[in-house]
């Protein structure tokens, strides 16, 4: 379909006067105009004329050189007949210097400077004699500044949203017949959506109002225009470097329905990334309407420096990115050899990590071994023929045993945990000992629990302390127990002529109390007090009674049940030595502990 501009001239068979009037209006309506309706997308975008919604890089420059050729973008025609009245612009060739910078994967700033390298036309004259001036020389067009902000979605996501737009600075000539600039600032805010679906399909769409001053050219209204664009494509080859696409652009002025300008054109395209940072492309297509600036044919050619935004791919899902995977389409495993990294491992039927070709036991999980005949077999560290998993003593050669706790262990007949070879008593359960003659034998008995075994304890029934004298070893310091008496080897000392016990006798009484606590079978004790024959017999008896009662009180304070104790004073009645000597009298002044009642002794558990 050819596209044309409809110059509002005479319709049908209008009179010459009417034609002249109309052509005067047309002559007056040739204001400066930026004719080209093709606006190249920023360098780094996916399509030629439709913005993409992403920002390609964190701090990445993009540069593009794009040639844009339009044939018959401005043709005068009779409205009713459709016959041409003349080509105001026959050929228009622009070179676009396009550059941009992407920040933070979110913001893109860009600039585009169009240069009309070649323009021509036949400066047609209407039937009424009005001429339209055609361009004839190279011109610089209006400088375009752009900004885009990604709101949603990442570069490779299937759905992305951005807002952006352009502002044109009137750097182009605004003289009649230049057709490269409006001579005024104009702007275009846009909403942009797009994405990449299933890794190979891409799409984008953008729309917004182009805000420009209102005017009329050849009877057609120009001014604020609702613009739109959409594109779709497919990425081919294994590296997705070849892109085939189609896109459409258009717009319609928003005032004067009868005279408004409508643009629409379609473009088929191919783009190819030659190397990671270099892309080339070409496109061509027809115009779909006859609006101002819509050609009957448009062709584009571009070369761009635009770093590839590579996606970290793992095609086989094995956790190793394709860039590092020697077998990117087959699940594999990590390997220090780059040629094997990501490739399936050699067969390993038992899954023990030793490949079957090196596994001496390929159907049973095992461990690595420097011995080829044992490599990959279950371990048997002690070499007794019983694998470690079943060997209760994997580091000591042993024998088979139905008891899992003994299987693979050296024999232990008494089961005391001490092997027969080290057991001094192999048929009787015992305990470990540093003495080889006692190792594995039952421990000696310690009846009184004083840490001195009975076979060494001179007093096995009373707690005592070690003593180098075998007759004193394990005995209390000052107390002994016999069948009928608790002997004390020291005397309880009293103040002279009184029943007050001296402090020096406290340790002795402590020991007596301790022995009584160790012998609960002794149920009755008679604490006996004795004196020498000095003084009156009655006074001596009274004193001995008081002293025996004082001892009972002292023992009760030390935790002995009072019901077990009886105090009895004998005075001078029972001497144990002659009173004629000081030494004899000293012995007769004494306290004794007679056992008067005993219960059967309870065996210790």
Residues 114 and 204 in one domain: yes
pLDDT at residue 7 in the model: 35
Range of the domain at 511: 479-598
Number of domains in the chain: 3
pLDDT at residue 349 in the model: 83
In a domain, 588, yes or no: yes
- List pLDDT tens digits, range 57-99: 999 999 999 999 999 998 876 554 555 567 889 999 999 999 9
In a domain, 508, yes or no: yes
Exposure b/e, 68-77, CB count within 10 A at least 16 = b? bbbbbbbbbb
pLDDT at residue 16 in the model: 28
In a domain, 405, yes or no: no
Residues 301 and 321 in one domain: no
Residues 84 and 207 in one domain: yes
Residues 251 and 323 in one domain: no
> 145: which residues sit within 8 A by CB, 6+ positions away?
110, 111, 166, 167, 168, 169
In a domain, 426, yes or no: no
SS3 string of 402-463?
CCCCCCCECCCCCCCCCCHHHCCCCCCCCECCCCCCCCCECCCCCCCCCCCCCCCCCCCCCC
- List pLDDT tens digits, range 354-411: 888 888 888 888 888 888 888 888 888 787 878 888 888 888 888 888 888 888 788 7
Residues 200 and 250 in one domain: yes
Yes or no: say if 269 and 281 are a contact pair by the CB < 8 Å rule.
Answer: yes
Residues 319 and 295 in one domain: no
Residues 257 and 324 in one domain: no
Domain CATH number, residue 301: 2.40.160.40
Of the residues 275, 305, 335, the one at which a domain ends: 305
pLDDT at residue 77 in the model: 66
Low-confidence stretches of the chain (pLDDT < 50) are: 1-29, 80, 605
In a domain, 401, yes or no: no
Of the residues 292, 327, 345, the one at which a domain ends: 345
In a domain, 567, yes or no: yes
Residues 338 and 252 in one domain: no
Residues 132 and 217 in one domain: yes
Yes or no: say if 480 and 519 are a contact pair by the CB < 8 Å rule.
Answer: no
pLDDT at residue 8 in the model: 35
In a domain, 13, yes or no: no
pLDDT at residue 197 in the model: 94
User: What's the rounded Cα separation, in Å, for the pair 582 and 565?
Assistant: 31
Residues 228 and 335 in one domain: no
pLDDT at residue 17 in the model: 25
Residues 286 and 165 in one domain: yes
Domain CATH number, residue 564: 3.30.1330.60
In a domain, 257, yes or no: yes
Residues 231 and 324 in one domain: no
User: What's the rounded Cα separation, in Å, for the pair 324 and 137?
Assistant: 55
């Amino acid at each position: 379909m050819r596209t044309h501009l409809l110059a509002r001239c005479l319709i049908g068979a209008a009179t010459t006067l009417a034609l002249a009037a109309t052509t005067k209006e047309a002559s007056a309506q040739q204001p400066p105009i930026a004719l080209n309706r093709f606006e190249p997308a920023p360098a780094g975008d996916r399509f030629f004329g439709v913005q993409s919604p992403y920002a390609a890089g964190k701090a990445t420059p993009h540069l593009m050189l794009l040639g844009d050729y339009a044939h018959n973008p401005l043709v005068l025609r009779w409205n009713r007949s459709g016959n041409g009245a003349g080509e105001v612009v026959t050929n228009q060739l622009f070179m676009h210097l396009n550059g941009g910078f992407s920040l933070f994967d979110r913001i893109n700033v860009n600039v585009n400077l169009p240069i009309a390298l070649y323009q021509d036309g036949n400066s047609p004259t209407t039937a009424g004699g009005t001429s339209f001036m055609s361009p004839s020389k190279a011109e610089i067009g209006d400088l375009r500044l752009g900004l885009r902000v990604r709101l949603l979605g990442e570069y490779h996501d299937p759905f992305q949203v951005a807002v952006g737009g352009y502002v044109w600075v009137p750097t182009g000539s605004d003289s009649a017949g230049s057709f490269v600039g409006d001579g005024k600032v104009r702007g275009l805010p846009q909403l942009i959506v797009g994405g990449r679906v299933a890794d190979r399909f891409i799409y984008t769409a953008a729309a917004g109002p182009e805000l420009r001053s209102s005017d009329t050219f050849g009877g057609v209204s120009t001014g604020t225009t609702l613009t739109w664009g959409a594109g779709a494509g497919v990425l081919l080859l294994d590296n997705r470097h070849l892109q085939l696409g189609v896109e459409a652009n258009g717009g319609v002025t928003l005032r004067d329905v009868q005279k408004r300008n409508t643009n629409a054109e379609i473009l088929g395209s191919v783009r190819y990334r030659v190397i990671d940072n270099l892309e080339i492309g070409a496109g061509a297509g027809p115009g779909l309407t006859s609006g101002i600036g819509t050609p009957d044919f448009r062709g584009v050619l571009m070369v761009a420096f635009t770093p590839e935004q590579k996606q970290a791919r793992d095609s086989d899902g094995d956790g190793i990115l394709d860039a590092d995977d020697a077998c990117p389409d087959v699940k594999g495993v990590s390997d220090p050899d780059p040629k094997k990294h990501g490739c399936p491992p050699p067969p390993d039927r038992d899954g023990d990590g030793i490949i079957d070709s090196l596994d001496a036991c390929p159907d049973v999980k095992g461990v690595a071994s420097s011995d080829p005949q044992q490599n990959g077999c279950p371990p048997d560290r002690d070499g007794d023929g019983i694998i470690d998993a079943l060997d209760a003593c994997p580091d000591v050669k042993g024998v088979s045993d139905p008891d899992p706790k003994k299987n693979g262990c050296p024999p232990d007949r008494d089961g005391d945990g001490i092997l027969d070879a080290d057991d001094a008593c192999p048929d009787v359960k015992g305990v470990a000992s540093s003495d080889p003659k006692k190792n594995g034998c039952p421990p000696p008995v310690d009846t009184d629990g004083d840490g001195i075994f009975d076979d060494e304890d001179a007093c096995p029934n009373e707690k005592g302390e070690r003593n180098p004298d075998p007759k004193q070893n394990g005995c209390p310091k000052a107390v002994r127990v016999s069948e009928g008496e608790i002997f004390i080897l020291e005397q309880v000392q009293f103040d002279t002529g009184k029943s007050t016990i001296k402090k020096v006798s406290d340790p002795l009484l402590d020991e007596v109390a301790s022995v009584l606590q160790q012998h609960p079978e002794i149920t009755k004790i008679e604490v006996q007090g004795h004196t020498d024959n000095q003084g009156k017999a009655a006074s001596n008896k009274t004193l001995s009674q008081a002293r025996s009662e004082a001892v009972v009180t002292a023992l009760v304070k030390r935790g002995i049940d009072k019901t077990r104790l009886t105090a009895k004073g004998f005075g001078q009645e029972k001497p144990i030595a002659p009173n004629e000597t000081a030494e004899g009298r000293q012995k007769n002044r004494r306290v004794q502990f007679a056992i008067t009642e005993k219960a059967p002794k309870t065996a210790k558990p």
